[in-house]
Structure 1
Amino acid sequence: MKDTLKKAATTTALVGGGLALWTALAASASEALVPADGAFVDVPGARLHYVDTGGDNPVIVLLHGIYGQLRNFTYALTGQLADHRLIVVDRPGWGHSTVEGDHPPIETQARMIADLIDALGLDRPLLVGHSMGGAVALAMALNQPSKIRGLALIAPLTQRMTAMPAIFRGKAPPEALRGLAAWTVGVPLTTLTGPAVSKQVFAPDPVPLDFGTRGGGLIALRPSSFQAGAAELTDANRALATMVPRYGAIRLPVAILYGRDDELLDPVSQGDVTAGEIPGATLTRIDGGHMIPVTHAADTARWLRTAASA
């Protein structure tokens, strides 16, 4: 019996060590392949990585979605908007932005982005949020409305979800287990399932072959990304439950864009319903899926240009 337990313990240690080594190597490789592109600014609780394209006003600040990074926008969209000054941000805890302590909830992330706006001396920029970044943008509209002049939400998460999307199941372990999971099964699981998950996130549009590097996709292969994703998947419904009843109080211009064939978030429940709850909000649909800033950049830019001029 003792020999059996000893062998089991040895096997567990070897497997755990191997997975931790896999994780460390994947994280190192991803950071080498997707290095920081811009500058850093310190705000209370975080050090934020951002790219400032320069250009003329009006200023637009762009926030990416879950498991994303600022290259989700610089892949194709920013090149379509060269006449604007764009501030493209790695959200707190994502990409090359770091945070102090645990991953911040949606409302705290909004406050950190508001602090970044102040630190950069921006005069009420238009705030763009894609996917989970849309929830962060809405939180700022509710809690720091004086910092921005309006919202442009691209395929945003705006309503509580009754069930977690199938592609994210298994990626939100209990908080007490997240650190262990991140350094053992999390990154290897992400590595193995990544191509299939990406295909579903982009569907029906194809995944660009260079999205891992040029689009920043590979930066998700780090334990910090696994933990950040688990935190946001767990916390999103809690945040939205407090936010949705307040949508009627938003007085900023709000424009929402969805791909007609989005397979990750439902354009009706996340788009139409929310547009009806926010006074004066508009909803536009274009061809494409969830990653339209990458796959339909020209159409997205055309819509965003209209939102910026409103």
Structure 2
Amino acid sequence: MTALLIFLLILVIAHVLGAIQATHIIAARIAEENPPGGVFVPVTGGRLHLFDLGAGHDAGRLPVVLLHGATSNARDMVYGLGEELSRSRRVIAVDRPGHGWSDRPNGRADASPAEQVKLIVEGLEQRGIRRFVVVGHSLAGSLAANFALEHKDRVAGLVLLSGATHPWPGGINWYYRLSATPVLGQIFVHTVMTPAGSWGLKKSAEDAFIPGSGPADYVQRTSAALVLRPREFRWNGQDVAALKAFLEVQSRRYGEIKVPTAIVADPADHVVSTPIHSEALHRQVEGSRLILLPGTGHQIHYTARQQVLAEIECVADEAEALQRHELPRAAE
């Protein structure tokens, strides 16, 4: 019996070591195939990776800061909106801390949207970006709203796309919860998750576009595989696991938001509930516009790109008009 137990233990250890080795090989290949394409800027404790597009445009036009959601990185926003938007104004698309090629200086503490915003503010300062329109998709709706609440001197306008802004009934997907767990999470992300995730990545990306479909080259163009690296997937799980409690507190303050605001969503979004999030935010932010686009799904910045671009420009134009009106008073 003892010999059998020893044999089984050796077998388990061999499988675990094999899984760790496979994870290391796959993660290294992912990193090599998806190198950083933007610039690195220093922040406290590390550096952020971002894309700075259209920097040569009229300095009088407000720049736009694009923030990506969970299980993603800045290339998702660049491909979806940034390339086209940068034809008319400066665009900064940021890898949130711990995602893409950005560092996570404070580990789990940087799961807080407020802490991520503080680091992003540092990065924007390094690029000379001091006042802007902020656009947040999905989980980054929480960051965009935090920008408008905690950095009022910087945010001139706010656009939320399928944004997560309020606490919701129920929990989160098991793999987020497991990856965020202190001990088991480390085992999960360094053994099972990366090989399994590589197999299911394309299907997962397709599901995000339901009921429509995304670009055929979406996974490649957005470097979606980067999230399968163990540390990033663990940090991603921490972000999702910390979000609900954070929004319990932040969502009580949305009446403080006074900048031009557009909220864009599909009424039947199957990832982020529009009634719980977008419609509730619209009721709290006086003067906000709620744009409902049925059949566009969660990846609304792809499936309704032109409508979304138009809303961003509308908010930016309104913010610029308000800014021009305020300048004479500031000079007096």
Q: Shorter chain as normaliser: what TM range? A: over 0.9
1 CA distance for matches of 2:39 and 2:65?
Answer: 15
Query: Which residue is equivalent to 2:39?
Result: 39
TM-score normalised by structure 1 residue count: 0.93
Contact 1:70 1:89 in 2 (8 A): yes
| 1:59 maps to 2:59 | no
Q: 1:133 maps to which residue? A: 140
Change (3 A) 1:32 1:264: same
Does residue 149 (structure 1) correspond to residue 156 (structure 2)? The answer is: yes
Q: Does 1:170 align with 2:175?
A: yes
Give, in angstroms, the shift of residue 63 of structure 1.
0.6
Per-residue deviation, residues 92-147 of structure 1 (Å, max 9, x unmatched):
11000012241401110011112222222213111111111111111222222222
8 Å CA contact retained: 1:39, 1:49: yes
CA offsets per residue over residues 2-48 of structure 1, 9 Å max, x none?
21221122111121112212211221222222211110001113411
Distance in 2, matches of 1:23 and 1:296, equals 36
Q: Find the aligned partners of 2:221 and 2:212 in 1 and give their Cα distance.
A: 17
2:307 maps to a residue whose letter is D
- SS of the aligned residue for 2:37 comes to coil
Residue 307 of structure 2 corresponds to 299
Q: d(CA) in 2 for partners of 1:243 and 1:38?
A: 31
Provide structure 1 residue ranges, at least 5 long, that are not aligned to the other structure. Answer: none
1:272 deviates by 0.8
**Aligned partners of 1:111 and 1:144 also within 8 Å:** no
Structure 2 matches for 1:73-222, cutoff 5 A? 73-81=77-85, 82-103=87-108, 104=110, 105-164=112-171, 168-173=173-178, 174-222=181-229
Alpha-carbon distance in structure 2 between the residues aligned to 1:46 and 1:61: 20
Contact kept in structure 1, 2:175 and 2:237, CA below 8 Å: no
Q: Deviations over 1:40-76 (max 9, x none)?
A: 0011134110111124232001110001111102224
With 19-28 and 103-112 compared, the bigger mean Cα shift is at 19-28
Please state how far the C-alpha of 1:256 moved relative to its aligned partner.
0.9
Determine if contact 1:63/1:88 at 8 Å carries over to the other structure: yes
Taking structure 2 as the reference length, the TM-score comes to 0.88
In 2: Cα distance, 1:260 partner to 1:62 partner:
23
TM-superposed CA distance for 1:292, in Å, is 1.8
Partner of 2:291: 284
Query: Which residue of 1 is the match for residue 21 of structure 2?
Result: 21
* Contact map agreement 1:66 1:229 (CA 8 A) in 2: yes
2:280 to 250, 254, 273: 273
Q: Is the contact between residue 204 and residue 261 of structure 1 (CA under 8 Å) also seen in structure 2?
A: no
What's the % identity of the aligned pairs? Answer: 26
- Separation in 2, partners of 1:95, 1:308: 27
Give, in angstroms, the shift of residue 153 of structure 1: 0.9
* Unmatched runs of 5 consecutive residues or more in structure 2: 319-332
Q: Distance in 1 between matches of 2:70 and 2:46?
A: 18
Letter paired with 1:304: I
How far does the alpha carbon of each residue in 1:256-284 deviate from its partner, in whole angstroms, 9 at most, with x for none? Answer: 11134422111121111111012222211
Q: Tell me, yes or no, if the aligned pair for 2:62 and 2:131 is still in contact at 8 Å.
A: no
Could you tell me which amino acid in structure 2 is paired with residue 14 of structure 1? A
CA RMSD of aligned residues (A): 1.7
Which of 254, 257, 263 pairs up with 1:256?
263
One-letter code aligned to 1:85: R
Letter in 1 for 2:90: R
CA drift of 1:192 comes to 3.2
Which piece of structure 1 moves more, 80-89 or 293-302?
Answer: 293-302
Paired positions, count: 308
